[in-house]
Amino acid sequence: MRISVPREIKPEEARVGLTPTMVTALVAEGHEVFVAEHAGEGAGFSDESYRAAGARITSQEDAWAQAELLVKVKEPIASEYDFLRPDLTLFTYLHLAASRSLTEALLDRGTTGIAYETVRVGRTLPLLRPMSEIAGRLAIANAAHHLQHHAGGPGILLGRVPGVVPATVLVIGGGTVGEHAARAAVGAGADVTILEANGDRLRQLDALFPHARVLMSDTHRLDEELPRADVVVGSVLVPGASAPKLVRREHLSIVKPHALLVDVAVDQGGCFETTRPTTYDDPVYAVDGIRHYCVANLPGAVPVTATQSLTHATSPYVMALARGVDSALENDAALAAGLSTRAGQLHSPGVAAAFPDLPAAS
């Protein structure tokens, strides 16, 4: 099979879909691998390292054109839609429920799209988890920066110092993102509260975080906790579907005037009603005077770490797809759960629910 990895062109995104080690393994099985020029530089991999592994270094356009299987990190943006075609299988994060335009582009062009974020093993999402771990920690690191006076914040230290009340952090959702955000915040010495709706998960978090408040999440509890928070981290995920809007615009009137809202669910549309995607170049905006931090590709800030963590998880699935897309989807229920679009139809229930007027497989 012809397998390509393009250069990511989303702003401030330097991760890469294949490492030289993965190229070596693919070439050893007889596949041809095409890597766009400079695709791996931000992640620490030179063109020469890919060439030594057996890849052909080519232009961005040729990488797309040559591919039967194209392995990316982030979803295609509008300037890449014309590269989509019926004989292409795209393996990447897609987050289609948050993007009608991309969904329609994949359907119109008949592209097979397999989404990292909905590959499922039991109740776990093995290709989403590594980036969620990083995103949770970066949410707190960036919040700590934007609480500082020179960054436009109120001049509050996130962590604890003797004799001073620490910053309060409210984490909404106790999944992987929420757990790692809480770990980072507790480690810094913040006063941390985690809201979680699932009873079994709540008990796990209560055991993990003896120095945090772990509370059952409901609308009443949210109304009580929002006014206490200096930082609110939104980390609620419904796999493959749009994130629920838990923090409504009217809630902004009850949060502290200096509070920072960090929506890590922004890739799936966000769990704040007032969320809109931002970039690292311009990460913060205000609604009704309340600052929002909604960078849509948080792990892109640490491409070396993030690429290694992600590709360790994706590698066996890439190898299986390279041996045959049809057989891989037929023989691996986890991978089949990631199938989002094929032959002009939606295969993801969450995306079909988001866009009920678009054609869906029965």
One domain for residues 235 and 141: yes
> Considering 191, 230, 263, 267, which one is annotated as catalytic?
267
137 alpha-carbon distance from chain centroid: 13
- For 52, other C-beta atoms within 10 Å of its C-beta total 12
- For 209-294, list the strands marked E by DSSP: 213-216, 231-234, 260-263, 284-287, 290-293
One domain for residues 104 and 160: no
User: Mean pLDDT of all residues in the chain?
Assistant: 96
- For 309, other C-beta atoms within 10 Å of its C-beta total 17
One domain for residues 235 and 177: yes
- For residue 282, indicate whether it is catalytic: no
> Considering 95, 180, 251, 347, which one is annotated as catalytic?
95
Angle at 331 between CA 341 and CA 69, to 5 degrees: 45
Judged against a pLDDT cut of 80, whether residue 95 lies above it is answered with yes
How confident is the model at residue 300, as a pLDDT? 93
CATH code where residue 85 lies: 3.40.50.720
Which segments are annotated as binding site for substrate? 15, 74
Judged against a pLDDT cut of 80, whether residue 208 lies above it is answered with yes
- Label residue 207 exposed, middle or buried (CB < 10 Å: 0-12, 13-18, 19+): exposed
One domain for residues 213 and 319: no
Three-class DSSP category at 139: helix
Secondary element (H or E) of residue 346: strand 345-346
What digits encode the pLDDT tens for the residues 46-80?
999 999 999 999 999 999 999 999 999 999 999 99
What digits encode the pLDDT tens for the residues 293-328?
999 889 999 999 999 999 999 999 999 999 999 999
Task: Answer yes or no: is 88 within a domain.
Answer: yes
pLDDT (average), residues 89-111: 96
Angle at 132 between CA 131 and CA 137, to 5 degrees: 100
Grade residue 167 by pLDDT with cuts at 50, 70 and 90. very high
Domains: count for the chain: 2
What digits encode the pLDDT tens for the residues 133-142?
999 999 999 9
Domain that holds residue 136: 129-301
How confident is the model at residue 289, as a pLDDT? 96
- Label residue 254 exposed, middle or buried (CB < 10 Å: 0-12, 13-18, 19+): exposed
Judged against a pLDDT cut of 80, whether residue 240 lies above it is answered with no
- For residue 95, indicate whether it is catalytic: yes
